[in-house]
Each structure stands twice: as C-alpha cells, then as structure tokens.
Chain A
Amino acid sequence: MKNYSTLREIQKDLLAGTITCRQLVEFYLKNIDEKNLKLNAFVSVYAEESLQKADEVDLKIKSGNYGKLAGMVLGIKDLLCYKDHPVSAGSKILDGFEAQFNGTAVQRVLDEDAIIIGRQNCDEFGMGSTNENSNFGPVLNAVGDHRVAGGSSGGSAVAVQADMCLASLGTDTGGSVRMPAGFCGLVGLKPTYSRVSRWGLIAYASSFDCIGPITKSVEDSAILLEVIAGSDEQDSTVSTKEVEAYSELVPEKKSYKIAYLREAVESEGLQPEVKAATIAKLDFLKSQGHTVEAVDFPLIKHFLPTYYILTTAESSSNLSRFDGVKYGFRAANSKELITMYKKTRSEAFRNETRRRIMLGTFVLSASYYDAYYTKAQKVRRLVKEYTDSLLENYDFLVCPTTPTTAYKIGEKTADPIQMYLGDLFTVQANVVGLPAISIPNGEDNEGMPIGFQIMAGAFQEKELLAFSNAILV
C-alpha cells in the first residue's frame, strides 16, 4: 500500500479502482497491530466495525454517490462522544462509560463517510502538555528515543505520524492540537473559538476548548474544518457565520504583512535549532515577497498565568459533575454521601487534575475571586485588545509552536510550572479565541520535528490555511 498523505490522492485511487477502502482500513489496522503496543496512541480500536463500514463506503463509491470524506480513516481523541462507544477523557473516573449520542463534529464526519477506526489516548480531560497524564499511560513519539508525543492530543498526533490512520480529530484548550502536531511533524489546526460546535466534547475549560484536526497536509485540515464547522442548535455559543470553502487554498493576496513576536523568536530559552529554523522560515517569507517585521508583546509573560487561572477555574466547575453517581467509577465502601464523592474523586482523578481542581476552586472561592479570577479576566481583555490591534496592521502573527522539540519522557513531570511553560507560544490563541495552526518546519540535530505557528484574525481560517499551504515547503 502506497503511503498516502492526503485524502485527494486516496480518493483519486479509490475512483480509479486501484485501491479499496477495505484495503486502506486493513493497512491502518496492520500498522496499529505492529506499532500501538509500543506507542500507546490508540486506547480502543474498532477493527470489525471499520472493515464493515469500509465495505459500505466502497459500495457507495461504486454507485457514485459518496460523502466528502469517503476514504478518510480517522481517529478521535478520547474526549469526543461517539454513540455506543467508550469515551473516558483519559480518566479512571469515566472507566466503562459509553457515549449515548454522537458529538456534532463526530456526527458530521460520519455523515460524510469518514471511517472512525478508534479512540485515541490523551492527557486526563486534556490537562497536560506531554500526554503523560493519562489513565492509559504515556504516549510515545514515533520519532526519537523515548520522547513525548506532546499533549494533550498526543495519541491523535502519534496515530497520524505512525500511519495508524490518515487524520485525527483532537481538541485544543491551550495548544493541545498544535503542540503534539509540532512535536510529531504534522499539521495541527485550532480554529477560531466558536467556529466548531462543542456539543459532545467533554468539557475542560469551556471558554477555551476547540475541536481541531491533526493531519499530514494543510488540505486535509481544510477539508475536515469545512465538514465540522458551522452552526449547531446544540451549542448556543457556536458561531452562525457561514462556513467558507477552506479547501480552495487560494491565497487572496500575493504579499502578506507578517509580524513575529520578538520576545518569542529572540528568547534565550529557545532551543538553538528551533531558533535557527524559525529565522530561516522568516527569511524564506521575506524572499517570497512578504513583509516580515518584529513586534513587541510586553504581555507575553502574563499569557500563562492568565490561562492557568481561567482554565483551572472553569475546569473545577466543569469537573464537578464527576461525582460517582451518574457515570463511570465509584469508590468502594463509602457509607456516607459526601465521603463517597470525595473518595471517588480522589481515587479516580490523577495528581495533575486534582491540582488543577484545587487551584480552580481556590481562585473561585469567595475571598480570592476578585484577586485572581476577575484579575485574570481583565488581563484576558488586555491580551485580546493588544492582539487584535496587531492584527489590524498585520495579516498573521508567527512564532515557533514550542520553545523546544519533544522532551524526554519524564523530563517535565516533576515541576508543574516547567510543564506549563511549554505552552507559552500556543496559549495566546486560546486566551484571545483566535485561529492558529502549527505546520512542520524542519528537524533538530536529533531528528525531532520543529513546528512553526501562524495565528490569524477571528474567522480568517480561509486565509490562514491558504497561506500555510503556500509556505509549506
């Protein structure tokens, strides 16, 4: 089987009759069989079901009446509800839980004949930057020696990286699609906040969460966004703006104005190869006739504290529903209700999740609400206004996706702040709700992939994707 990196190539061969969906699924299942035990990307594999669905899609292709995603074998992060299939947010607390409905994004890819081959490992409730904080154990990067996948959609990235599926749907609350995409040499897109319905996405931080694709190509990212985006009566926050033809990928302008964050690119903390690759990319952009200028972003050191105050607050509230009553796990031998709640939650949530719930509960508690939570909401406005003002003068803001390439397993887990710092460049897009993409930008001296991040104005995905595709060399 040829190693495909775009749906277009696959559909061309499917229509020519040189391959079938069944053969595609068999190819991916074989790779899962060979690699998953080591990489730990998939936590459920729907082998029989995918083969059956493949036969159905093969018939549809023969009949000439098939969906836009026919031939796409897809994995979904363990935060997305797929009816009658397990979903557990990488957590013991949802052990044994099965979804009772399809999330909107999942329903839409199924309606377009995508084949969902399995459910993918992630950090518990999306809380992590390395995919080491999962009830299913860490995900391993397919490149390098014992390197992390990045998180929290680590399983979703590695599954694509290791050819266990063509594409994945992940979720991005502070970089959880872009960071693993960067660490694995893939394309990861976080759409504008509210572009994609959150119905059927298990909530972490509701004013940040976004579903986004992880793919090998920008065009597959665009096609998937076209399918999953748009209004939905199940989510009152979702945008009713028209979904554009993202997959046309024709840049509107010949020459763009691009700003890079001086603090990010010139930072001492940047790995030398990441810095060199980023500067090379900026030089390339100039050589292509784009205007590239440095801008200062004095608020950069405040991104992460703002992000962590607000997301821990929202998560402490969202995760209060997990009480050992309605779904999943309950601790044994609790004779009294409050004790049962406490034992269940303490036994099931992992350390990092407990820490975030504690922080969130603290910043929302009556005595500290204004000092932390309201303060962070105000800084959120400052960051948004400053970012918006830059995007009035520039088409795109660019920087490396992460300060370094993938860490060694265990390297960052001891100190939460060290772990949080890895999100420095990605959180801005979530704090302000703007679209951002990570595209591959070479490798470091040990062959670990480097990511390049591009952020655009609200609902500018069409331009963002077209530009990303044009500069991907």
Chain B
Amino acid sequence: MQIDQQTLQKIAHLARLEMSESSDHEMIDSLNSVLTWMEELNELDTENVQPLIHMTEEVNALREDKIVPNITREQGLLNAPKKDEEYFRVPKVME
C-alpha cells in the first residue's frame, strides 16, 4: 500500500491533525517507508493463527461498586484552557 496525497488528507482528518503543504511530502515519504517495512509481516503464513488481543491473565477483574469521593468539578476544570464556572468552553458548534 502506498499513501498518496488524498489518503494522507483523509487519515489526517480522522486523526484530527492538519498537514501543511510544506510537510506533506516528508510525511508521505516517511509513512510509505514505514508501511513498506511493516508489510514484511506478509511473508508469514498466519492463516490459522488467532489474533492475540489480551496480554493480561486476569479475566473480568471487578471491584466493589463503592461510592468514593472523586475529584470535584472545580478540580476537573482546573487544567482546562478555557472554562466558565461549570463547563469546559469550546468554539461555537452550532450556528
């Protein structure tokens, strides 16, 4: 698979990243060289292999559903770049 300009823009949008014209080519080249390298895995026959998904031996580790003091609203808002008394503030979503 080779990434072109159009795929790059599509992936960048999904990743919520902006690609500038000047860095486009560099990014396309490096992505393609890494993807080509990743494709070496196709040399292996994995037809009858199950994907390994979970790395822990623990299954359904559940704890008591206790009510404990969590962080307060004030603490939650503390690090936000823009906020009011109660909410995170973002640019207008609806007209």
A336 at the interface (CB under 8 A from B): yes
Cβ of A239 within 8 Å of any chain B Cβ, yes or no, is: yes
CB distance from B27 to the nearest CB of A (A): 7
Chain A residues, CB < 8 A from B15: 316, 345, 357-358, 360-361
> Does any Cβ of A come within 8 Å of B57's Cβ?
yes
* Cβ–Cβ contact B17 & A357, under 8 A: yes
- Chain A nearest CB: distance from B55 CB in Å? 5
Contact of A346 among B18, B35, B40, B43 (CB under 8 A): B18
Closest to B47 in A: A378
Complex-state Cα separation, A306 to B61, whole angstroms: 28
Minimum CB–CB distance for A139 against chain B, Å: 24
A98 at the interface (CB under 8 A from B): yes
Q: Are the CB atoms of A97 and B27 closer together than 8 Å?
A: no
Residues of A within 8 A of B92 (CB): 335-337
* A379 B44 Cβ-Cβ under 8 A: yes
Q: Which residue of A lies closest to B61 (CB)?
A: A236
B80 touches A193 (CB 8 A): no
With a cutoff of 8 Å between Cβ atoms, the chain A residues found around residue B58 in the complex are: 194, 236-240
Known contacts A320-B16, A324-B81, A340-B91: does B34 contact A378 (CB below 8 Å)? no
- With contacts A237-B56, A328-B79 known, is A362 near B31, CB below 8 A? yes
Q: Which residues of A contact B34 (CB under 8 A)?
A: 308, 355, 359, 416-417
**Residues 61-93 of chain B: 1 if any A CB is under 8 Å from the residue's CB, otherwise 0?**
111000000010001101111100000101111
Residues B41 and A376 in contact, CB atoms below 8 Å apart: yes
A346 touches B46 (CB 8 A): no
Task: Give the complex CA separation of A97 and B50 in angstroms.
Answer: 41
Q: How far is the CA of A239 from the CA of B52 in the complex (A)?
A: 18
- Residue contact A336 to B16, C-beta cutoff 8 Å: no
A326-B79, A328-B79, A362-B31 known; A233-B51 Cβ under 8 A: no
The answer to whether B52 and A355 touch across the interface, beta carbons within 8 angstroms, is no
Chain A: interface secondary structure? helix
The answer to whether the Cβ of A62 comes within 8 Å of any Cβ in the partner chain is no
CA distance A358 to B57 in the complex (A): 31
Does A374 lie at the interface of the complex (its beta carbon under 8 Å from any beta carbon of B)?
Answer: yes
Residues from chain B with a CB closer than 8 A to the CB of A363 are: 38
Cβ contact within 8 Å between A342 and B16? yes
Check if B52 sits within 8 Å of A194, measured CB to CB: no
- Nearest to B93 among chain A residues (CB) is A337
- Are B79 and A340 in contact, with the CB atoms below 8 A? no
* B44 & A382 in contact (Cβ 8 Å cutoff): yes
If the complex has contacts A337-B90, A378-B46, A379-B46, are A355 and B30 also in contact, measured as CB distance less than 8 A?
yes
Contacts of B18 in A (CB 8 A): 342-343, 345-346
B91 lies within 8 A of A334 (CB): yes
B79 near A372: Cβ-Cβ < 8 Å? no
CB contacts under 8 Å to B, within A364-395, are 365, 368, 371-372, 374-382, 384
Known contacts A301-B40, A379-B44; A361/B14 CB under 8 A: yes
> Lowest 10 CB-CB distances: which A-B pairs, in order?
A377-B51, A330-B81, A381-B52, A378-B46, A233-B63, A237-B56, A361-B15, A346-B18, A327-B79, A378-B49
A-B contacts, 23 listed (Cβ < 8 Å): A96-B79, A97-B79, A207-B54, A237-B56, A238-B56, A239-B57, A240-B58, A302-B41, A305-B38, A305-B39, A328-B81, A330-B82, A337-B91, A338-B16, A346-B17, A346-B18, A354-B17, A354-B27, A355-B31, A361-B14, A362-B35, A382-B46, A384-B52
Apart from A207-B54, A324-B81, A342-B18, what are 6 other A-B pairs with CB-CB below 8 Å? A328-B81, A341-B16, A355-B31, A360-B15, A361-B11, A381-B49
Chain B residues within CB distance 8 Å of chain A: 1, 3, 7-8, 11-12, 14-20, 27, 30-31, 33-35, 37-44, 46, 49-58, 61-63, 71, 75-76, 78-82, 88, 90-93
